[in-house]
Structure formats: structure tokens, C-alpha cells
Amino acid sequence: MNPRRKKRLLLVAALVIGVGAALSLMLVALNQNIDLFYTPSEVVEGKGKQQIKPTVGQRMRIGGMVVEGSVQRDPETLQVSFQLVDTGPEVTVLYTGILPDLFREGQGVVAQGVLTSPTEMTASEVLAKHDEEYMPPELAEAMKGIRHENPNTRTDYMKKDEQAQPDTSEQDGKSGYDR
């Protein structure tokens, strides 16, 4: 083999080895930062067709509803424990810190942390699901004293003069809504 080809071959081999090493380092780093999402049933019973259970020490996210009456607070510290449930078994979540304002029993939450036993997790972060009637604090302050009615539950949402008018949407082929 002439020296020119030998030099090219070594350059290509070094390039392939370098790219392979960089890809393997990236995959290892990404694998360490993956937080898989589980429901409480999947944590206890397993996930998927193979019923794969998470291992103790694995980083994960658990999402479910906070069980009524399960929230226990330590009066001396910021330690809080509560039970999460979906449709099956419960999982205990231990958290040290200030819980979100929207956290309450019967509310949906997602806890991120490390599994410490098959049915217990130590959370580093707790996210509370907000309801669809969220209102920014500034707007809530401005609307103090005004009674809020959910438009989805009101039946008398049309004015009386609108109820008296005949429906002409079938006559002209339009639905009556602006598009």
C-alpha cells in the first residue's frame, strides 16, 4: 500500500472511531437524564405487555390523583407525604419543600424523583395540574366581589330578546355562528 493511501485509511479510521466515541458518550449522558413517566398502577404492577417494573433507585415521574385524607405534613420541617392513585394501587410520595399553590387532595399531580421502594418515591419536584377556571392573580383581585359563573353550567346564557327571535339558520343554510 502506498503511503498516500495508508494516510487516508488512518484518517478515515480515526474519524470513524472519534464519531463512534462521541455518539456513545451522548447516549450515556442522555440515558442518565431520562425520566420515564409512570402511573401508580404501572409502578406497582409493571408497564407494557412485559409488565416491566421500575427498579429501586430509578429516576422517574409518577402522575395520578392525590388520595383524599392522605396528605401528612411534618409541623417542624417542610416534609410532606401523600398517596397517589389512578385506577389501581397507591404509591406513597415523600417530598421536602413548598408544594404548589394548586396542590390539594383529589387533584391531579405529577411528582418527579427517585423510587426508594416498590411503592414509595422521594420526589424532588411536584407539579400540580391547574383547573380550567384558572385566573391570574391580578384579574382575580380586580374581580373581587363579582360573582363568577361557569358558562358551561349556565342554561340561561341567551338574552330574552335573542330567545324571542326565530331561528333563521336553516333558511339561509348557515349555522348562525361567525367564522
Cα–Cα distance for residue pair 106/89, rounded to 1 Å: 15
Annotated binding-site residue numbers? 130, 134
State CA 121 to chain mean position distance.
16
pLDDT of residue 86: 83
**Residue 120 predicted with pLDDT over 80:** yes
Cα–Cα distance for residue pair 59/41, rounded to 1 Å = 17
**For residue 27, what pLDDT band results from cuts at 50, 70 and 90?**
confident
pLDDT digits (tens, 9 = 90+) for 128-172: 876 656 555 655 655 555 454 555 555 554 545 555 555 554 444
Q: Please, what is the average pLDDT of the chain?
A: 77
The predicted pLDDT at position 30 comes to 75
What are the tens digits of pLDDT across the range 80-102?
A: 999 988 888 889 999 999 988 88
In the chain, at which residue ranges do the beta strands (DSSP E only) sit?
Answer: 36-38, 59-66, 72-73, 79-85, 91-96, 108-117, 120-128
- Residue by residue, DSSP assigns 129-177 as PPPTT---HHHHHHTTTPPP--TTT-S--S-HHHHHSPP-HHHHT--SS
What's the pLDDT at 95?
Answer: 94
Fold adopted by 36-128: OB fold (Dihydrolipoamide Acetyltransferase, E2P) (2.40.50)
Domain boundaries along the sequence of the chain: 36-128
- Residues belonging to the binding site for heme are 130, 134
| CB count in 10 Å sphere of residue 90 | 19
Phi, psi of 81 (to 5 degrees): -130, 145
Residue 148: its pLDDT value, please? 46
Helix (H, G, I), strand (E, B) or coil at 86: coil
